[in-house]
Chains A and B, each alone.
Chain A
Amino acid sequence: MASLSSEEWRAICDKFTNAQNLTDVESRNDPENDPFRSKYKARELLREIYCLLKSFEPGEGEEDRGADISEQRPTEEPVDGQTEDWFSRGFSGDSPAGLRAAKLGAVEYYLGVNHVDTEELSAGQEHLMNCMKLLEGCRVSPENVSLFIHGRNQLGILWAGRDETETAQGFLETAESIYQRYMKEDGSPPTDMTEYFTTGENQLTHQERTKRFELAYTHTMYYLAQVYKNLGETERAATYCHNTLQRQLRFNQFSPMEWALNAATLSQYYITKGRYMEGRHCLSAATVISGLAGEIPSEAAAQESETESERREQLRQKRAEIARCWIKYCLNILQDSKKLLEDNIGELDTDRQDELKRARRQEEEEEEKGRKSAMLFGSEDTFDSIASLEEKVMCLLPLDFTEARSVFLVGQNYVTQAKEYFQMDGYVTDHIEILQDHSALFRSLAFFEEDVERRCKMHKRRIDMLEPICKDLNAQYYLMIRRQLMFELAETYNEMMDLKLTLANRQADTQSLDNHTIKKFNHLCSASAKYFQMFLDSLCSPEGKVPEHLEQEVLRPALVARFRVARLHSRLINSAPSAQLDSLNKSLENYKYVVQYCEAHPEAAAEVETELELSKEMVGLLPLKINRLKARMEANN
């Protein structure tokens, strides 16, 4: 700073502080009709700084030339290419020329951001590129590395805004590799850009320098996550989201609830990919970190103050949301496992079960440990709590009832938690979705249960939780939900009916069924048919007219329901031939409907291929049976 008097320097520093203040603080109060007033003022100050630096600091001859040359160089090549160069070529960052380039570059950077903020993108781009060009003459060093990263972050945002995602990607990926190389080769806390324009006593501590630098890189990760998302590279995008979260936690730059919800959301992504270990880790971290947001204020406290009430509401809601993510974890892992283990008619395939159990060997877990180290969340104080939460539920697919049950119980526990907040009154749809998940948990668990009677009881639990709600809900406002519930109830009754029969057959062996069993069976059969019918009725017009055309989203459900109703009617056990005849006719009617509908609407056939084929067969065969029954009835008369 040979050629600048300390007074002049102080003036520059003041201007800079002013410009920062205008940009960050004042600009928030700008009036609607002059929204960039403060930013324009800041821009003027930055320009003045730039001119001052240019005129006052030509420095000691030769070393300065480098900077000038690089400034004059036109854009003959894209700025970002091999990172190698930045660590070897040019003059060192702490030389006078290097420092001068960094300072000028920083002013260009701030001018660039200023122009972008005020919607003058091309001018912004020019300044940012000037910054890059100035730095091109310098080697990466603690004095300038922060500017290297910040500048590219901004260029990344700028190009992405123009829909030039690949260009953005280039800048951001270069920023990433510069960071990594710098941390590997140097790693000392770099100068923050604001420090270029502070007087000696205002230098930052090492800790603060590191914090700011790391934050800039966290932003690089955050932007790259979006770039990859926009490019359709979801897997990579997820990794970068994960890294962003990891870094936020590591450098303690996060708000606990926001972080926890983001981690919980990420868990849902992993779940869809079947990566339960990652999903579990995210959820455990989400639960632990959400705890850092503090205790939920008591109801009494909430009544006292509006702030507390708001806080209570927020905390309860978000924790309940995290619980719901846990429910989905448990549910999905059970369902995935079921898919893997079921045979062609949806029963547990024990051969497959043995095979999978054998395959689940040590190495699998070893491999998971390797994967795990790359994704760990947590600081020293949270690490243990996260790990202990993880231990409470498995992340491998459960392969037998004991394992399935342990997952189920965890899920059920979260159901209780989630329901505490999402109560029926006020949160109808949420509450019901949780109940549906609870029912689905039972359904998955029942698959693993070998004892038929206990299996039956599990389905009964499903009925008990869903049936009252289906009855209670306003049919008009909750049409869609009720349709879902009707279908599920119909299927559950059907399932119970099958189980009762299996049980009866097993006990009675070859003997015919006793009256009590028949009564029970018929009850379940009718209940199932009733709900399928209710579903079908919900599709009718207010006058009860069956729609001529089924909307796409109800097409398959409606035809399947018809098919099932047909089936159920033919399964009713009637001792009286007349009643039997009646049932068979109803059955035929419904099979016919499926066939006729598909004839009238050929596009529907593809939706219900198997059902249609079977219905056609039955439409041909049932009349024979009906006729035989009629003949027998006449003969008996």
Chain B
Amino acid sequence: MYVNSSGAQNGSYSLTFLGKKVGRHHSVAPAGKQLAWETTVRTTQDPVVSSRAGQVPVAAQVLDDLPGSVPEIREQRPCPIIHNTQLDQYDNNTAGKIRVFCRVRPVSRIEAAQSEAIVVHKVDDFSVTVETPRGQREFQFDKVFGAEASQEDLFHDTNRLIQSAIDGYNVCIFAYGQTGSGKTYTMVGDKEQKNPGIMPRSFNAMFDIIQQNSNKFDFKVSAYMLELYNDRLQDLFVSQSGEAHAQPQSHGQAKRVEIKRNRKGVVFAQGAETKEASSAQELYALFQQACANRHISATKMNVESSRSHLIVGIMVESKNMTNGSVNTGKLSLVDLAGSERAAKTGAKDHQLKEANSINKSLSALGDVISALSAELPHVPYRNSKLTQVMQDSLGGNAKTLMIANISPSECNLDETLTSLIYATRVKAITNNAQRNVESKEIAHLKEVIIKLKSGQTVEEEDV
């Protein structure tokens, strides 16, 4: 995320986001931190999906934290603990924070051939600059991955979140960016799975951790996989093609899916099928099945693939065999649709939202009104399913990682981010405490102090 955002509005959103100044982490990180970071990076082994030979180096990573986090956290835990019922390897306070990584993909052959100007430059591990017609802009992130960074490098820094999910946190990892900026490569990997992305690697990492702890805990892993298209959630475990044969009109009749949470924090996809998996292979098979269904549904609806979001939810229930306590965590992996569509339909700040030429609906009027003041008491919009789904993964005690994928020759990176931040900004906590409500208390105490000072005995009078 960025500090020097284009407008004052953006700035204020980024400041209040989850009560955290996202993107500023690097500023609290001492310069030496980078070195520490770099030296530990090289301990990574190659977790190759197909062979699953390598152990995911969770232990090695416990010591080094995500860049920019508060230094003392590391000191808190001198020795790595693989599975700790105390929730997490790092401090409670990291929850609710959003980390934003930026990944710049290599210049493609076509771009090189066309000798496209490279406008994005990685300055250091935390910032990139973008040449815009209005001058150079700098964007800051929790970590920047350049073109040379491998899938392993990236996963190395996301891996520990898998542990958090097993420890009972609501973890969300998502990639966004323009079409062709490498989102799917980042999340899923290449077609042949020679360079698997975060999703398959997470499956492996998860079951590796589970295996290591199988003598102390009883684990149950289940997953739902959904597609969000046109503000509608589709269950990807339900084969669209099969249904289509039976009922030609089945699309409109597809089962309604809603993502909800109960008071115990358990997230459930109401109306969607949840399937259990007992190994990484099984989970991967489910994932492939979902992808196949996604593909069918996409072609059937004549959907531009870039407009559909893929949402994978993996629930881990761990039962402590000694004391019987049960922990439920969730890992959400999201491959967002390309952001440029949103820009085209008028998501850019300065563009006027047109009246829909077909049904003449002034559908964006609500957005205009909501934007009149940043402090509307209640905004009656669930503006989009995506926001709703994401909010669930962003709010409260969630741990979230955004990966902003950008291509070196493009610079449209802020649209989606801005709107997401806007949509999920949370109100300052304990509003009451912010106001001067304790004036009565203070007035009273002032009296007490005067009495005490004058040497009067203040016993019951204090009351």
Which residues on A are within 8 Å of B, measured CB to CB? 24, 28-29, 32, 156-157, 160-161, 163, 165, 168, 215, 218-219, 222-223, 225-227, 229-230, 234, 237-238, 241, 244-245, 248, 253, 255, 258, 261-262, 264-266, 268-269, 271-272, 306-307, 309-310, 313, 317-318, 321-322, 324-325, 327-328, 331-332, 344-347, 424-429, 469, 472-474, 476-481, 483-484, 487-488, 491, 494, 498, 501, 512, 521, 535, 539-543, 545, 547-549, 551-554, 556-557, 560-561, 563-564, 567, 570-571, 573, 610-611, 614, 617-618, 621, 624-625, 628
Q: Which of B253-301 contact A (CB under 8 A)?
A: 253, 255-256, 258, 260-265, 270
Q: A222-B355, A498-B440 are in contact. Are A487 and B397 (CB under 8 A)?
A: no
What residues on B are CB-neighbors of A226 within 8 Å? 352-353, 368
Q: Does the CB pair A265–B370 fall under 8 Å?
A: yes
Is B373 on the interface with A (CB-CB < 8 A)?
A: yes
A526 to B365, CA, bound (A): 51
A487 to B437, CA, bound (A): 12
What residues on B are CB-neighbors of A307 within 8 Å? 252
Q: Does the CB pair B368–A614 fall under 8 Å?
A: no
Q: Which of B346-390 contact A (CB under 8 A)?
A: 348-355, 357-358, 360-363, 365-366, 368-373, 375-382
Q: Does the CB pair B304–A32 fall under 8 Å?
A: yes
Is B246 on the interface with A (CB-CB < 8 A)?
A: no
Q: Does the CB pair A474–B263 fall under 8 Å?
A: yes
A479 to B429, CA, bound (A): 10
Is B51 on the interface with A (CB-CB < 8 A)?
A: no
Q: Does the CB pair A324–B369 fall under 8 Å?
A: no
A-B contact pairs, 28 of them (CB 8 A): A156-B352, A157-B354, A160-B352, A226-B353, A230-B349, A238-B372, A245-B365, A255-B361, A262-B366, A262-B369, A265-B376, A265-B380, A268-B373, A268-B379, A271-B377, A317-B382, A332-B377, A345-B440, A347-B440, A426-B258, A476-B168, A477-B398, A480-B96, A480-B429, A487-B430, A488-B432, A547-B93, A570-B462
Q: Does the CB pair B369–A479 fall under 8 Å?
A: no
What residues on B are CB-neighbors of A165 within 8 Å? 350
Q: Does the CB pair A473–B378 fall under 8 Å?
A: no
Is B193 on the interface with A (CB-CB < 8 A)?
A: no
Is B170 on the interface with A (CB-CB < 8 A)?
A: yes
A32 to B304, CA, bound (A): 7
Q: Does the CB pair A480–B377 fall under 8 Å?
A: no
Q: Most chain-A Cβ atoms within 10 A of its Cβ — which of B258, B380, B442?
A: B380
Q: A241-B365, A560-B433 are in contact. Are A306 and B371 (CB under 8 A)?
A: no
Q: Does the CB pair A610–B442 fall under 8 Å?
A: yes
Q: Does the CB pair A557–B170 fall under 8 Å?
A: no
Q: A324-B378, A477-B265 are in contact. Are A542 and B92 (CB under 8 A)?
A: yes
Is B20 on the interface with A (CB-CB < 8 A)?
A: yes
Q: A268-B378, A610-B442 are in contact. Are A484 and B429 (CB under 8 A)?
A: yes
What residues on B are CB-neighbors of A479 within 8 Å? 95-96, 396-397
Main secondary structure of the interface of A (DSSP, over half): helix
Is B39 on the interface with A (CB-CB < 8 A)?
A: no
What residues on A are CB-neighbors of B252 within 8 Å? 306-307
Q: A230-B349, A551-B20 are in contact. Are A266 and B369 (CB under 8 A)?
A: yes
When C-beta atoms are compared, the residue in chain A nearest to B77 turns out to be A543
Stretch binding the partner chain, chosen from B83-91, B150-158, B221-229: B83-91
What residues on B are CB-neighbors of A32 within 8 Å? 304
Is B148 on the interface with A (CB-CB < 8 A)?
A: no
B interface residue count range (under 10 / 10 to 19 / 20 to 34 / 35 or more): 35 or more
Q: Which of B438-463 contact A (CB under 8 A)?
A: 438-443, 445-446, 449, 452-453, 457-458, 460, 462-463
What residues on B are CB-neighbors of A617 within 8 Å? 449, 453
Q: Does the CB pair A614–B445 fall under 8 Å?
A: yes
When C-beta atoms are compared, the residue in chain A nearest to B440 turns out to be A345
What residues on B are CB-neighbors of A554 within 8 Å? 19, 429-430
Q: Which of B71-111 contact A (CB under 8 A)?
A: 72, 76, 86-88, 91-93, 95-96
A245 to B396, CA, bound (A): 36
Distance in angstroms from A125 CB to nearest chain B CB is: 15
When C-beta atoms are compared, the residue in chain A nearest to B305 turns out to be A32
When C-beta atoms are compared, the residue in chain A nearest to B446 turns out to be A614
Distance in angstroms from A567 CB to nearest chain B CB is: 6
Pick the 4 closest A-B CB pairs, nearest first: A477-B265, A474-B265, A321-B380, A328-B377
Q: Does the CB pair B378–A248 fall under 8 Å?
A: no
Q: A24-B358, A230-B349, A551-B20 are in contact. Are A344 and B443 (CB under 8 A)?
A: yes
Contact of A225 among B19, B20, B361, B368 (CB under 8 A): B368
Q: Does the CB pair A310–B256 fall under 8 Å?
A: yes
Q: A266-B369, A557-B430 are in contact. Are A272 and B376 (CB under 8 A)?
A: yes
Is B428 on the interface with A (CB-CB < 8 A)?
A: yes
A219 to B355, CA, bound (A): 7
Q: Does the CB pair A168–B352 fall under 8 Å?
A: yes
Q: Most chain-B Cβ atoms within 10 A of its Cβ — which of A168, A313, A477?
A: A477
What residues on B are CB-neighbors of A426 within 8 Å? 258, 260-262, 270
When C-beta atoms are compared, the residue in chain B nearest to A237 turns out to be B372
When C-beta atoms are compared, the residue in chain A nearest to B442 turns out to be A610
Q: Does the CB pair A262–B92 fall under 8 Å?
A: no
A321 to B439, CA, bound (A): 35
Q: Does the CB pair B463–A501 fall under 8 Å?
A: yes
Distance in angstroms from B355 CB to nearest chain A CB is: 5
A313 to B382, CA, bound (A): 13
Q: A494-B441, A557-B430, A621-B453 are in contact. Are A237 and B377 (CB under 8 A)?
A: no
Is B70 on the interface with A (CB-CB < 8 A)?
A: yes
Q: Does the CB pair A244–B362 fall under 8 Å?
A: yes
A494 to B442, CA, bound (A): 13
What residues on B are CB-neighbors of A219 within 8 Å? 355, 362
